[in-house]
Structure 1
């Protein structure tokens, strides 16, 4: 996989994640924070199940933003890498995506694969 294709692909993924986060934020804003509390009897509008839904959606948004940050960090590493390091970085991030693991595990998997190829 070449550098430009990898970067383009990951930017597309990041754009999709950003759109998902935006939709979730709008959903929480409209469904929870836009409620009008004119009297104390209106407190039910933001309590109980409504609060739980907003909390769950906020957790989802946090997860999406974490994925965005990881994706941007991976892109920065690929952009800063030079020569053979570019191919190594791309393989590493592909392993991270494919196996849903962190960098250390991906490095071990990549090292294991190279050992298998040489034997």
Structure 2
């Protein structure tokens, strides 16, 4: 349970870094597609390095065989492998979800504007 809570913190941080970068590009005047396409490659290395340092920082604990470490190993497993999986999710699903939500928002605005015109 503690590993999952720690994992949630890392995942949220990586996602926020990516979404913040997309929003910054949009404020500079780029459209949503340009912002997402620019943010992905620009934030790829920082997100990947954050995740890899977390994984490799936990790796010695994963390899530990002592009795004292047996209590912490399940937490380390869930955190280490969860970070690797969540990195892929962050780099693929978050930009896709951002575009999907933006598209829904634009459709709703267009629908509301159409209703007001009638």
Q: TM-score, normalised by structure 1?
A: 0.51
Cα distance, 1:69 vs. partner?
A: 2.6
What is the Cα-based RMSD across aligned positions, in Å?
Answer: 3.0
Q: Distance in 2 between matches of 1:11 and 1:26?
A: 23
| Structure holding more helix per residue | 2
Q: Distance in 1 between matches of 2:50 and 2:38?
A: 19
* Structure 1 residue ranges (4+ consecutive) displaced by more than 4 angstroms after TM superposition: 2-6
Cα distance, 1:48 vs. partner?
A: 1.6
Bigger RCO (CA 8 Å, 6+ sep): 2
Gap runs ≥5 in structure 1: 75-92
Report the counterpart of residue 91 of structure 2 in structure 1: 68
Cα distance, 1:117 vs. partner?
A: 4.4
Aligned length: 85
Q: TM-score, normalised by structure 2?
A: 0.51
Gap runs ≥5 in structure 2: 1-29
